[in-house]
Structure formats: C-alpha cells, structure tokens
Chain A
Amino acid sequence: DAKTTQPNSMESNEEEPVHLPCNHSTISGTDYIHWYRQLPSQGPEYVIHGLTSNVNNRMASLAIAEDRKSSTLILHRATLRDAAVYYCIRGIGGSQGNLIFGKGTKLSVKP
C-alpha cells in the first residue's frame, strides 16, 4: 500500500511549535516524502519534500527517520494561517513522480 499513516487531527496553540507525524513503513529507497497543506476550497500548497536528509525551508522543517519509515513535519511557530489539512505523501519513484494522497491531518490552531 502506497499510502501513509497520519493522525486524523491535531491541535496547537498559536506561537508554539507543531510536530506533525507520518508513518510510511513500506517506503522504497527512491520514494520522496512530500508534504502539502490544503485550506478549504483551495488547491494543495506545497510545503516541503525530502529523500533521506532533514530539510529546512522558509515554511517548515522535515525530519526524516534514519530508517525512512517515518517523518515529522515541524512548524516552528504556529500561526492561525497554518490551520489546514496537512498531507504526508509518498512520491512514487519514476519520471512521472505520482503522489498518492491519504486523508491527512487536520491541524487546528488556537489563539
């Protein structure tokens, strides 16, 4: 099964860090791990992606376990605008790079 496992929902307080977990125990060596987030009635927004090493960008950090069977998206300081559904996705290896979406984690941010 190419899908990942994420908690259905999480809550965070504004200005606090958020750690969103994801399990992908059947990932293969060439599959990238992608994170997207989606606000209601909008298309998914790219957040970050990586293969083996931890990754940082202006939006978030991605911590990938050494065995690559799990990863964690880290939002360093949650804001109200970070409230969204977060999808952790395996990018299937190959030139087409298909993404298999699961149900994601609905993140709520409390002021």
Chain B
Amino acid sequence: SQTIHQWPATLVQPVGSPLSLECTVEGTSNPNLYWYRQAAGRGLQLLFYSVGIGQISSEVPQNLSASRPQDRQFILSSKKLLLSDSGFYLCAWKAPGPTTQYFGPGTRLLVL
C-alpha cells in the first residue's frame, strides 16, 4: 500500500531564516505531487504541483519554491521566511489518471 511522509511535524523558525520541508511517498511510481498551505481557520491553498522529476508548476507567486529531485520526493523551500509564511503545510500525491489525491500528515510552521 502507499504511504506519504512529511517532516518535520512541527517547526518554529525566526523571520528571515531559511526553510526546507520534505515529503516522500512510498509504494507508487511516477506520482503527481502537490504542496498546499492552510492558514489558521482557512481552506487549503495549492502552492505547487509536479507531474515528474524536475517539473514544477507554481500556482501562486510567493517567496517559496519547490523541487523534485527524485520521483517520490518533493521539497518545499524558502531562502528567507516571512511572518505570513506561518501555517499548516500539506503534501499530497496522486496516481496518474482520473484518481484522487491523498494527503500527508502535514507540517505546522510557526514563523516568529
């Protein structure tokens, strides 16, 4: 069966510091991968998606970036965090074709 991992689970970072969140998927090949952010009390906002290694599409302009160095690894980064980057970051995967997405446990980021 497929599983999706995210780490760290919780992170507290100062403003201006860098960020690296990692997401890995097991038990599937060539998945579509997604990064979402959820601000407190809000719905999910799609940040990035990837249909293959090295292929990244950005949905909203921001100071975040994403990379996919391996088939089942998706990384969310920032060079300098802003207070507004605080939130709950969720990674999701989807098999190719008309199927649905499955979400990871999330990383809660607090920027102080």
Contacts and interface: CB of A to CB of B under 8 A. Distances in A.
A19 to B, nearest CB: 21
Q: What range describes how many residues of B lie at the interface?
A: 20 to 34
Interface of A: 32, 34, 36, 41-46, 49, 51, 87, 91, 95-104
Contact of A43 (B43, B94, B99, B104): B104
B105 interface: yes
5 contacts: A36-B103, A95-B96, A97-B98, A97-B99, A101-B45
Contact of A99 (B51, B101, B105, B106): B101
A96 B49 contact: yes
A84 B51 CA distance: 30
- A-B CB proximity, top 3 nearest: A43-B103, A101-B44, A101-B43
B100 A46 contact: yes
A41 B108 contact: yes
